[in-house]
Amino acid sequence: MEINCDQYKDSAYRSADGSCNSLDYPYRGAAVTPQPRYQPAQYDDGLNSPRTTGKKGDKLPSTRLISNKLFRAPGDCTETDHARTLMVMAWGQFIDHDLAFTPVTQDDSSPITCCEEGAQSRPECFPIPIPSDDPRFTHSCMELVRSASAPCQAGAREQTNEITSFIDGGVVYGDSIEKWAELVDAQTGGMLTSEGELLPAGGSCKLTNEDDFCQKAGQR
């Protein structure tokens, strides 16, 4: 679908959804577009089925096993980093949430579970086997629902970025004019808040505290 960027040619500001930030490539970095690849997709069937074997045909190990091998601290003691604080992790997570959000496959009737008996063969599922000697988990399966496929092109399955891929504050202000209007006071330009200077109430979420309430934010 063609997009008209005339309204942005003389604009000093980004668009809410990232479209036309590049006048030469108007969809580059825009919300709800396929994520680009640095390397071609490598599916088992060339199109859709997740890769489960290596180049020599050997079965690939569990990603949980690899994670344990790479990040488990030696012995029983976690090493202390004297150059970085926990804020590095928090800031990195914040920036990550401003750059990408990959939606997972949804079921209209109920949440998808992949570790139940018989569910692992569902096309939406790709659960992670947990080693029997895992230092944390006692069960043998970790839920993993596959990311939703980008619906707009033929060929190998691609993934969608639902938000802009620019560091543009979309995690705060949203990635569409409609979302922005829910969060910002159009008269003052300030962020809307609920009592106690909290995020505005609304939306749907899973509450663990009955005294809490769902809140609106730039990214869900």
Question: Are the C-beta atoms of residues 210 and 216 closer than 8 Å to each other?
Answer: no
Question: ∠ CA 179-180-184 to the nearest 5 degrees?
Answer: 130
Q: Is 139 a catalytic residue?
A: no
The DSSP line for 46-99 is SSSSPP-B-TTSPBPPPHHHHHHHHHPPSTT-PPPPSS--HHHHHHHHHHHHHH
- The one-letter amino acid code at 110 reads S
3-state SS assignment for residue 218: coil
Choosing from 97, 122, 157, 216, the catalytic residue is 97
Question: Are the C-beta atoms of residues 105 and 147 closer than 8 Å to each other?
Answer: yes
Question: Are the C-beta atoms of residues 112 and 122 closer than 8 Å to each other?
Answer: yes
For the chain, the straight-line distance linking the first and the last C-alpha, in angstroms and rounded, comes to: 27
Q: Which residues are tagged catalytic?
A: 97
